[in-house]
């Protein structure tokens, strides 16, 4: 069995944003040489997310609005976490909703997606570098 590890780095200047990282994951898969197996893609920061959905801008705007309604950034005083001197209590909650990681099957050297599926990095407390782990195992 082969094992391959790669880190992807992102620095989204805005507080929140979504990036389609499918091409980077496909590149890692190609580099790994794995033809049959699994790929794990996970955000290595507790205020960021990795998830699978459609690459449609209206949907991403809906996510952003919905998440901000569920856990608004302001007022920052409403979050007990922010008593530590941080202002990202909302980002932790948004990450919990959107998830930490995805696992995708690899079949014949390709990501085995359903229709319209793509992998996204979600940022909820931007302005600094954060990483995503891509771990591939298989034959």
Per-residue pLDDT tens over the stretch 66-91: 999 999 999 999 999 999 999 999 99
User: Which residues, at least 6 apart from 109, have a Cβ–Cβ distance to it below 8 Å?
Assistant: 29, 30, 34, 35
Q: Number of folded domains in the chain?
A: 1
Question: Residue range 2-14: average pLDDT?
Answer: 97
**105-135 pLDDT tens trace:** 999 999 999 999 999 999 999 999 999 999 9
- Residue numbers of the domain that contains 37: 2-55+96-138
Q: Is 39 left (phi over 0), alpha (psi -120 to 50) or beta?
A: beta
In a domain? residue 89: no
The pTM of this model reads 0.96
In a domain? residue 90: no
Question: Residue range 57-66: average pLDDT?
Answer: 97
Calpha distance 19→34 (Å, rounded):
25
Helix axes 57-70, 89-98, angle to 10 degrees: 130
């Amino acid at each position: 069995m082969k094992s391959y590890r790669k880190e992807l780095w992102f620095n989204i200047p805005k507080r929140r944003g979504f990036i389609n990282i499918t091409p980077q994951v496909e590149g890692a898969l190609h580099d790994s040489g794995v033809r049959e197996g699994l790929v794990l893609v996970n955000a290595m920061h507790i205020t960021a997310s990795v998830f699978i959905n459609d690459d449609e801008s209206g949907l991403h705007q809906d996510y952003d609005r919905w998440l901000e309604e569920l856990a608004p950034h302001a007022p920052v005083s409403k979050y007990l976490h922010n008593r530590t001197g941080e202002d990202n209590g909302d980002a932790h909650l948004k990450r919990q909703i959107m998830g930490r990681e995805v696992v995708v099957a690899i079949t014949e050297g390709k990501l085995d997606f359903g229709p319209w599926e793509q992998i996204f990095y979600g940022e909820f407390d931007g302005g600094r570098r954060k990483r995503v782990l891509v771990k591939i195992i298989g034959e």
